[in-house]
Structure 1
Amino acid sequence: MHKLLRQIPSVDECLLALLHDEILAEIPAGLLKKGIRVVLEAQRQEILSGKEIAADALTLPVLLSQIKAAILALNQPRFRRVINATGVIIHTNLGRSVLPESAALVLAQAAINYSNLEFDLAAGKRGSRYALVEELLCELSGAEAALVVNNNAAAVLIALDTLAKGKEAIVSRGQLVEIGGSFRIPEVMARSGAKLVEVGATNRTHLKDYQQAINAETGLLLKVHTSNYRIIGFTSAVSNEELVQLGHEHNLPVMEDLGSGCLVDLSPFGLEKEPTVQEVVASGVDVVTFSGDKLLGGPQAGIILGKREIIEQIKKNPLNRALRIDKFTLASLEAVLRLYRDPITVCERIPTLQMISAPLALVGQRAEQLVALLQERISKFCAVQTVDTLAQVGGGAMPEQHLASRGVELRPSFMRVSRLEKELRSLAVPVIGRIEDDRLLLDMRTVREDELILIAEGLEQIFQRGGEAL
């Protein structure tokens, strides 16, 4: 054991051997030493554990190969681009909506230049960051006023804190949803200081349920759109118009949390009709909240629309300072909203809407292109063919609804499907697919045409490595 330990080269020896490696030339010396120590310590632990060590395992050339791989891994950015081949369009784990190129260009300009974030160019004095998108939001939605905070949970929180803190907020029992990360509407309400009053039953709520719950302590009538689940069968719900009328009779504001709000009717693309933001605003509710990075196709944001008097109250809430958006969110959100001014081209220019609306024939062409690329490269290692698949909108939107899609099926001949899935995740540009029935599926509805070659080259690299090892 001591003899083996003495054979391990020193950090300085390894560092000297790596000095002229061009691939590592730009990596700081501190990181080089860290990678060396990681590998050398791993060797020490194997020896001390009594594990049998091969005769050449501790030679400098062998160790340098491991050290180089360790250094490159340590130098790899943690936040990375991936290729989404899952078929889930608004994938919460993969960054939700992809921004349009026009928004990315605006983001770059905001990053490298000064901007009029809080400067009124016309007046030559301090301005409001919210004014940069408020007019556009009102134009597109029909609302009197608007405010944007950093996500939709924050939008709900600040609206409830402003309108119902210390008061009762009445909500249907069937709308007490749980959103991502195990956050629940009752918990958000409790944190805001509003007192939850549940009415109705899980599947049926009537107007009289709200009427009977209203008292001197009531501060708000709340409606939560069930965008991430469905109750079907024997159901009943109160319309916005009925709730607004009741609110007016008792001088109570009515608020609706849309969750994943959309400015475009997506039913022509085979999805069930969802209320658009414009329709909800037109119904007369006082406050509407929804996400910016779901069906809207923009950056993470919580958008609050409504009556001017109420939005002004929310703007003055001290929480607004803690929840405000930065220049990057503002820049990209404005760029995305501007695209909605042209309803004819918006579905082609916003990636989320483009993926939802893409004709099945176009998706199928991408699948066939990828199969052609793969048959040239990996046919002797893996069976490849196009297959019918079902894609999803995702992001907690439109549950139980699917979009017909086409994908590529991979059945490797000498490795497990789970191993192939893991190898794809380890590529320089990771590819994320899904396993079904002992096969790996790459759904083309969420893959761009320019990503096909990256997938093909990555798979070729994986199977070449595996073939050499056989």
Structure 2
Amino acid sequence: MSTETNLPAPLAQAKDLPSLDRLLQHPQGKALLQEYGHSQVSAALRQHLQSLRQLALKQSLPLSAVLPEQILQHSWQQLEQQNRSRLQPVYNLTGTVLHTNLGRALLPDSAIQAVINALQFPANLEFDLSTGGRGDRDDLIADLICELTGAEAATVVNNNAAAVLLMLNSLSQRKQTIVSRGELVEIGGAFRIPDIMSRAGAKLREVGTTNRTHLHDYEQAIEARTALLMKVHCSNYAIKGFTKNVSISQLAELSQQHQLPAVVDLGSGTLVDLSQWGLPPEPTVKDTIKAGADIVTFSGDKLLGGPQAGLIVGKAELIERIKKNPLKRALRVGKLTLAALEPVLALYRAPELLPQRLTTLRLFTRQPHAMRLQAETLQPLLQSWAGATYKVQAQAMFSQIGSGSMPESVLPSYGLHICYQGSGRPGRHLLALEERLRCLSRPVIGRLHDDALWLDLRCLEPQHEPDFVAQLHPITS
């Protein structure tokens, strides 16, 4: 007859803790030093040893916890977490292609390679290779922008809000800028056109009403202190019904009569007619210039499909005034932005090849049947990962462009629809599943809506699917 006894685990005393030097001389400690350096490793080990010492003094430290391998493994995990980049790649399955919180446009391969080259080698950022003298960084891309837009001159700053700020400060400081009341938009992060105008030192003169503005409203507001007539493209909302607005060509004609610049903030901005690929039409920069706009501002990382930037194009004399503003230096872009922007712009020289080469347009034009096949393949894998208390279904859904572009337009899409099937309210269970997705090695970001978690597959291209699948391990009971 045998008896079993549950003996308490032996406890460690403070004197049982290994010294810091012993840990650093351990093979695993040497590997840590090689990876993270003496300063970080020593600090992490001292901190952990101190916490273990406190537990030992309280007689609550198992003897196994003082093994050098255990201590070093804990510090390795701590240092790995501490040194992990805060900026992580994620899978964008929200259904919003140009997602501001997830970095907006993805760069094409040619732009990525150009950025790598700019990171590795010195470059002629402000050096004129033909003369050997100092150059202007805008010269690297100005000719290309002008070729694509029909503008006389161009300059680039770090985003479109900066472009509008710089333009207003250069051309309308302490003077009046006339804008339709229906175009006083607010963009992401609560940045408003009136606020930008105020910071630029320009005096706002609102004309018309929220839904209707006439040409005579602008004309009656013009006075001696008027510097600009301005239009703002309402890309992030729409007014329907009894509406009236003034066209760019009408505003340009009025501005010429009064010898005032007509400026247009296009916001998202596009260089090609998107309707040729079945997308909703948007005013192009070239058409806006052709209609008579003297200055046009637009973004680089929205419909253009490039890096974050604000582009200002238009009449050479006005662009020169803008470039002489001291704010231009504060708002200028660096070599990485210019390196990425040039190859993106160059793709527009062959517009018929854009759907294959420009990542953003490729995502916009993905076909629903391809995403449906993808969803049907992933459904059983995700079902196994989520567990039996959730129901995962392949389902039709709708994507959106995002970043304030085409707010009323949707793109037929397909993805995975996940519902909670257990007892109780589904909210907290769906939040828990959403958190599990966010905690994967490469986080998956979906959308919670209508008591379900939606994973839109538009932005999960086939080449990324194997890595996505590899991190889906079935739930274990």
Q: Tell me if both proteins adopt one fold, taking TM over 0.5 as the criterion.
A: yes
Aligned residue in 2 for 1:29: 38
Is residue 424–residue 459 contact of structure 1 (8 Å, CA) maintained in 2?
Answer: no
Separation in 1, partners of 2:209, 2:419: 48
Separation in 2, partners of 1:318, 1:413: 61
Change (3 A) 1:41 1:193: farther
Matched, 1:450 2:459: no
Change (3 A) 1:41 1:405: farther
Separation in 2, partners of 1:39, 1:435: 40
- Tell me the alpha carbon deviations over residues 98-149 of structure 1, each in whole angstroms, 9 at most, x when there is no partner: 0001111111111111212122222232222111111111111111111111
Matched, 1:427 2:435: no
- The CA deviation at 1:360 is 1.5
Q: Which amino acid aligns with 1:12?
A: L
Is residue 15–residue 32 contact of structure 1 (8 Å, CA) maintained in 2?
Answer: no
Pick from 298, 312, 321 the counterpart of residue 306 of structure 2: 298
Superposed, 1:370-385 pairs within 5 Å as 370-371=378-379, 373-374=381-382, 383-385=391-393
Is residue 29–residue 72 contact of structure 2 (8 Å, CA) maintained in 1?
Answer: no
Change (3 A) 1:10 1:120: same
Of the structure 1 ranges 421-430 and 370-379, higher mean CA displacement relative to structure 2 is found in 370-379
1:428 is paired with a residue of what secondary structure?
A: coil
Separation in 2, partners of 1:109, 1:247: 45
Aligned residue in 2 for 1:149: 157
Matched, 1:106 2:114: yes
Superposed, 1:46-61 pairs within 5 Å as none
Q: Which amino acid aligns with 1:355?
A: L
Q: Which amino acid aligns with 2:354?
A: V
Aligned residue in 1 for 2:335: 327
Matched, 1:441 2:454: yes
Separation in 2, partners of 1:130, 1:374: 48
Superposed, 1:5-404 pairs within 5 Å as 12=20, 15-16=23-24, 19-20=27-28, 24=32, 26-36=35-45, 66-371=74-379, 373-374=381-382, 383-404=391-412
Separation in 1, partners of 2:13, 2:405: 58
- Tell me the alpha carbon deviations over residues 209-260 of structure 1, each in whole angstroms, 9 at most, x when there is no partner: 1111111111100111111111112111001111111111111101000110
Change (3 A) 1:407 1:18: farther
- The CA deviation at 1:34 is 4.6
Change (3 A) 1:57 1:391: farther
1:117 is paired with a residue of what secondary structure?
A: coil
Change (3 A) 1:217 1:11: farther
Q: Which amino acid aligns with 1:453?
A: P
Is residue 370–residue 452 contact of structure 1 (8 Å, CA) maintained in 2?
Answer: no
- Tell me the alpha carbon deviations over residues 21-59 of structure 1, each in whole angstroms, 9 at most, x when there is no partner: 7984512233334545666777899999x9x97978966
Can you give the 5+ residue segments of structure 1 that lack an aligned partner in the other structure?
none
Change (3 A) 1:23 1:390: farther
Change (3 A) 1:145 1:437: same
Change (3 A) 1:269 1:17: farther
Change (3 A) 1:126 1:13: closer
Please report the TM-score for the alignment, with normalisation by the length of structure 2: 0.87
Separation in 2, partners of 1:436, 1:450: 28
Is residue 107–residue 331 contact of structure 1 (8 Å, CA) maintained in 2?
Answer: yes
Separation in 2, partners of 1:252, 1:308: 15
- The CA deviation at 1:282 is 0.9
- The CA deviation at 1:187 is 1.1
Can you give the 5+ residue segments of structure 2 that lack an aligned partner in the other structure?
1-10, 423-427
Is residue 17–residue 53 contact of structure 2 (8 Å, CA) maintained in 1?
Answer: no
Change (3 A) 1:142 1:11: farther
Is residue 96–residue 400 contact of structure 2 (8 Å, CA) maintained in 1?
Answer: yes
Is residue 375–residue 384 contact of structure 1 (8 Å, CA) maintained in 2?
Answer: yes
Q: Which amino acid aligns with 1:357?
A: T
Please report the TM-score for the alignment, with normalisation by the length of structure 1: 0.88
1:20 is paired with a residue of what secondary structure?
A: helix
Q: Which has the larger radius of gyration?
A: 2
Of the structure 1 ranges 21-30 and 351-360, higher mean CA displacement relative to structure 2 is found in 21-30
Of the structure 1 ranges 199-208 and 410-419, higher mean CA displacement relative to structure 2 is found in 410-419
Of the structure 1 ranges 302-311 and 116-125, higher mean CA displacement relative to structure 2 is found in 116-125
Separation in 1, partners of 2:183, 2:304: 22
- Tell me the alpha carbon deviations over residues 332-388 of structure 1, each in whole angstroms, 9 at most, x when there is no partner: 100000000001111221111111112222222332333365468777686433111
Is residue 24–residue 30 contact of structure 2 (8 Å, CA) maintained in 1?
Answer: no
Is residue 168–residue 195 contact of structure 1 (8 Å, CA) maintained in 2?
Answer: yes
Is residue 176–residue 186 contact of structure 1 (8 Å, CA) maintained in 2?
Answer: yes
1:279 is paired with a residue of what secondary structure?
A: helix
Change (3 A) 1:318 1:419: same
Change (3 A) 1:83 1:197: same
Separation in 2, partners of 1:255, 1:338: 26
Change (3 A) 1:199 1:56: farther
Change (3 A) 1:152 1:18: farther
Of the structure 1 ranges 408-417 and 196-205, higher mean CA displacement relative to structure 2 is found in 408-417
Is residue 23–residue 29 contact of structure 2 (8 Å, CA) maintained in 1?
Answer: no
Change (3 A) 1:4 1:194: farther
